[in-house]
Structures are given as structure tokens and as C-alpha cells.
Structure 1
């Protein structure tokens, strides 16, 4: 596994994850949280959800590379401590209960097993509350891979995205980047297989929704007709909707995204119901494939909206 950015070395698991009792609670939770956030897992051996959540917590804390620590408290073995904390306001009536301590105070909590995405968000919030960096170098690695992809080094970008996913298997931007890298290499089936293998908790992430649209457009590009011939057909008969639609697909396949959008907007203006609203559907697919802040997408969406609500 390669190292991805950052200067922080990974701390030994023994320093990050500890079994805490009444005797060392002040030292390993209250005092320790003055330096770095401490996630406290209240659990018991008989608790089914605890057996699911515990390994997830340990994995997430280990991957945070020292930005946060984990204290595990068996409530059966530490009943007096649990009662004292409950009397101070911590709701420990059910387990698992997970509490984030920052600078000696509880700042957030949840109860029961939660999806990995929610757990990651909880830990990021704790790290940020403690003034820490939540990127662990992965954001820098994603930016570097994006630059490789823009410069045409799709194979190098794919390798970097794959390494990021080894560090964080639920990194939506890395999954989407790996899909786009394979599309750039002409490997549409492989790109689709990668996307289909994404964890369920990130399946609706905007980056992956965009990747779905990009795959659909890539498959269309394989069947796109010659631009010049389609342009001639449209010029000869501006109401040849099929030719205009095919021209839009051909323009997009050649990289003229703005030209494709213009043709589809013209088709929508002429007959918005043609082929069960195909022009609008294709426009939305193109918009989905683009970055939400892309000026071409923003312009196209505004024009489409003005036509819809005119």
C-alpha cells in the first residue's frame, strides 16, 4: 500500500485504541482529549450491535492516523463509572453509545450501530472540533490525480485513485475518478464494473451520479454519426428532430459539449414532447455528467429552465 500525501505518520494502534476503566478514565479520556479528540465507545459483551460497531470504530480511528483516539469502556465491568457519567448527563440507558470528547467535554454522540458513512462524518466532525485536519492527505492525492487526468495521464491517474481507495474504500471522489480514468482509457465496461462495485453507502453521492451519466454518454459516443453529415441534414431540414438529436450526440462525442447543449435546447424549443421528451432527458444527462459549478452546465440549466417556465 503506498503512502498518500501528508506528513503525519500512522500511530501504533495501541496508542490510538485503549480499553478504559474508572482508574484511567481521567487520564485517557478527559486529559487526552485536551490534545486530540477522544471517541468513547460504551459497549458490552452481550450487545449484538456493539459487535458490529466496534470493529468499524477501530478501523475508522486507525485510518484517521492519530487525528483522533478511541477509548472502549465495557459498561458491565465499569458500572460505577457508567452510573457516574449518566448522573452527569450522558444518556447511557442503551448501548452502544458513542461519545466524542474534545478538550475534556462531550461535544457529540450517537446510539446504536450506524452506517460507515455516518460514522466517518461523526469522526470528521470531532476532528474538526478539535482543530485537526480531516483530509489525511487524501484530498491532496485526489487533486493530484485530477491533474494527471486533465493532462492525459489516465493510467497514472487510475493508479493513484486505486491507491486512495485502498486507504479509504468509501471515498466517492476517488471512485468517480477511477471511473473517469477508465473511460479516458476507452475501457467503458471496466468503468461500469468499478462503478457497480462502489459501496452502497456512497451509491447516491453526487460524484457517482455524475459517473453514471458519464458512462451513459460514453456508450452513446460509440454509436455517434459523422458530424458533417448530420449538420447537413439539419441545415436542409431544421425540423428533422432525429437528425438534430443525433447531431447533439455526435458533437458531445467530439468534445463540443456546449454545441451539443445548444442543439438539444433548440430541439426542446421546437418540440419539447418529441420522442417522449428525449431532448430534456439528454440535457439532464449531460448536466449530471458535468461539475455542478461548470459554467456550461449552469448556462444550459438556466436556458432550459427559462423555456420550461416561459
Structure 2
């Protein structure tokens, strides 16, 4: 975990330049009247709780000399200081994912990522109960972190606890754009995992449907879409329109821009109308 500090002209050399020889320093030049600064602040404060860097906050109105020295023309302006060298970071507000990429470029790793690596390592060694215990502890301390929730849902999906995974994903809303799409993907995979575990019936299309579901779980999406489309063509009412719904779920997994999504969405429309 890093440290968040306020810095002025008198402390800049010690708290920024000298400390940058120990760990990276992100200098956040901000102003209290700046709306984007207030948007960026909680994101940076959140990340400094996960990564081992120093967040040095400089109020440009209180320290105009520092702003001038480091070429600050608009705020927020974040500079990166490593080994005493001040370099350009970014101006404006970046999404959390891009900020994490920036920290990764500084060879910093989130303590949450390290904890998740430990959890998956334990699971891969067959210590599933220990992994679950570690994950539950992580969730308890980061219950409102969508990234942790997604990772936890994925873990429970992998170990077959589908209801737990589904419940974890419920709070993620559509306005949380960065997390809603992967949440939809996991929900789609839960759907297919659940379908794969259901006993076979006597309908003539049951075997084809199961084969299509298995193709999804093996990530053979083209074959799965071909088979589901064939089922839609034969019997739209089968499994309460299940084949069409399955195709839509695959589109969620692949994303709207994937070539298979574009192709089979058109084919599905032709079959339906």
C-alpha cells in the first residue's frame, strides 16, 4: 500500500524528488475549483491503497511557483517522478483501467492482484477450500470493489458454484460501463454452465443443443452459433426460445464488434424475419 500526502514548495524536494528514489511518485497538480480534479481524486486515492507508490497532491493556487516550474497549464495534471526525474504523465481524467496500465508500466503490482494470484495458485494446487477462504476474506475487505467482485464471480464460476457467482454479479449496473460488459460475459457463461449440467431430455433437438453448449464451453463459438442457428430455424419454441437466447448470450461474450457477432446477428435476423 502506498501513501497519499499534500505537498508544497517547502516539502517538494524531500517528499517528491528524494522519495522517488525509493518508489514512484505521482504528483497530482490540482485546484479546488476544478471539477475534473474532483473526479480524478477518488480514483487516485483508491489506487494508492492498492499500489506501492506515493501520491503527492499539489494545490496550484497555493503553489503557483511549482506549477510554473513543471509546466502546468491545465488541471488536473499528473506528473510521474522516478529516481529524481520528472516526466509527463497525463492531463485530464483517465478511466481507472488506463491508470492501472500506467502503474503497470512503472512495474507496480496491485496488492489485490497479488492476493488473487495467491487464491488461484491455491485452487490450481487443489486447495479449493483454502482458496475460497482467502477469497471470502478479500471480498469482506473490498465488498464494493467491482474488479474484485468480477474476479470472485469468475472464481466461483470455475469451481461450479453458479448461484454464488450469479449473486455477486447482481449489484453491477449498466452505468458502470467498465465492469458491466465483463459482468454480462460472466452471466452468459453461467447460463451455459447451468445448461451443461442439466439432464438430457427426450426432444429430438436435445443432443444438438447440448453439443452447442459444450462448444461454447470449449470456446468454439462458430460451431456453437451454427448449431444454435439451426435449432432456431427448426423450432423457435424449443426450450422457450432457448437457442435464440443462447445466441444472444454468445454475442455478449464476444462483443458487438466481433466478426462472428456481426455475421450471425445478420443470419439470425434473416431466420427470424
Distance of 1:179 and 1:257 partners within structure 2 = 14
User: 1:170-185, aligned counterparts within 5 Å?
Assistant: 170-171=146-147, 175-181=150-156, 184=159
Alpha-carbon offset, residue 40 of structure 1: 0.4
Counterpart in the other structure of 2:93: 113
Q: CA shift at 1:42, angstroms?
A: 0.6
Scaled by the length of structure 1, what TM-score is found? 0.61
Aligned length: 244
Q: Which runs of 5+ in 2 are unaligned?
A: 235-242, 255-259, 261-273
Inter-partner Cα distance in structure 2 for 1:105 and 1:112: 21
> Any residues of structure 2 matched to 1:176-195 within 5 Å, and which?
176-181=151-156, 184=159, 186-188=161-163, 190-195=164-169
Q: Does 1:163 align with 2:143?
A: no
Structure 2 partner of 1:244: 207
Q: TM-score, with normalisation over the residues of structure 2?
A: 0.68
Distance 1:274 1:94, change over 3 A: same
Report the equivalent of 2:59: 74
Q: How does 1:1-310 map to 2 (within 5 A)?
A: 10=1, 16-64=3-51, 67-86=52-71, 92-125=72-105, 127-128=106-107, 133-136=108-111, 138-145=113-120, 147-148=122-123, 151=126, 153=128, 156-165=130-139, 166-167=141-142, 169-171=145-147, 175-181=150-156, 184=159, 186-188=161-163, 190-198=164-172, 200-205=177-182, 208=183, 210-221=185-196, 223-226=198-201, 242-248=205-211, 252=214, 265=223, 268=226, 273-276=230-233, 278=243, 285=250
Q: Measure how far apart 1:274 and its partner are.
A: 4.7
Name the CA distance, whole Å, in 2 between partners of 1:20 and 1:51: 17
RMSD of aligned Cα (Å): 4.3
